[in-house]
């Protein structure tokens, strides 16, 4: 097997975070992916998914010096950062903005999420491009609850926001 960094590595600029508001099942998220109704996080600057597994202590007197564990329950969190967009989501070319996220969090609305690459935009103007999920490349998806949302702005900076979501069920991979 040969390695080719030009084909094997993913530029992080092309890895985007999409949301499906009000989804209550993985099927609903899949339908949104197929229909193209996933909405990208406006002006996103980073996305991170952290997958953790709990451990079940099985140490006993038979373990001697070393502890022993079984793998336990798995869980995950997603975090993303974005520049603050003053537009309402309806006016942001279909992208999700801070105000929309705040409405979802306050209402306790579950969300579907997708992390994947966007369709290659070529030489198209980046800001007017739709940033559509490329369904022909690998992506991850699931459902989650918004657990944290913040808006911050320092002196001589562009205001920014951060979101954290806690997974609800498994992560799916296509």
**Model confidence pLDDT, tens digit, residues 65-84:** 999 999 999 999 999 999 99
Tell me if 102 is assigned to some domain: yes
Extract the tokens encoding 35: 């229909």
Number of domains the chain is built from: 1
Q: Are 39 and 19 in contact (CB under 8 A)?
A: yes
- What domain range includes position 136? 13-54+68-173
Q: What is the pLDDT of residue 167?
A: 97
CB-based burial, 96-106: b 16+ in 10 Å, e otherwise: bbbbbbeebbe
CB 133, CB 139: distance < 8 Å = yes
56 beta partners = 70
Per the structure block, which two tokens stand in for 151?
């808006």
Q: Which two tokens stand for residue 154?
A: 């320092």
Does residue 60 fall inside a structural domain?
Answer: no
**14-54 pLDDT tens trace:** 899 999 865 555 568 888 888 888 889 999 999 999 999 99
Q: Chain centroid to CA 53: how far?
A: 19
- Residue 59 within a domain: no
Q: How many CA atoms lie within 13 A of 171 on its CB side?
A: 19
Domain presence at residue 61:
no
pLDDT tens-place string over residues 153-174? 999 999 999 999 999 999 999 9
In angstroms and rounded to an integer, the radius of gyration of the C-alpha atoms of the chain is 19
Identify whether 130 is part of a domain.
yes
Which DSSP string do the residues of 54-84 spell out, in sequence order? Answer: EEEE---GGGTTS--EEEEEEEEEEEEEEE-
Residue 23 falls within a domain, yes or no?
yes
- Indicate which CATH number applies to the domain containing 44: 4.10.410
Task: Find the helix or strand (DSSP H, E) in which 104 lies.
Answer: helix 98-107
């Amino acid at each position: 097997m040969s390695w080719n960094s030009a084909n094997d590595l993913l530029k992080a600029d092309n890895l985007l975070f999409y949301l499906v508001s009000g989804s209550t099942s993985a099927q609903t998220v899949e339908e949104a992916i197929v229909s193209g109704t996933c909405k990208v996080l406006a002006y996103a600057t980073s996305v991170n998914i952290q997958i953790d597994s709990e451990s079940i202590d099985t140490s006993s007197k038979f373990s001697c010096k070393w502890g022993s564990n079984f793998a336990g329950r798995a869980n995950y969190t997603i975090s993303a950062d974005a520049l603050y967009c003053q537009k309402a989501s309806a006016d942001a070319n279909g992208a999700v903005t801070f105000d929309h996220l705040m409405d979802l969090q306050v209402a306790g609305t579950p969300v579907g999420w997708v992390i994947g690459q966007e369709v290659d935009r070529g030489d198209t103007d980046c800001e007017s491009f739709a940033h559509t999920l490329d369904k022909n490349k690998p992506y991850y998806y699931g459902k989650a609850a918004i657990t944290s949302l913040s808006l911050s702005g320092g002196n001589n900076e562009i205001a920014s926001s951060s979101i954290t979501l806690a997974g609800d069920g498994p992560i799916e991979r296509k």
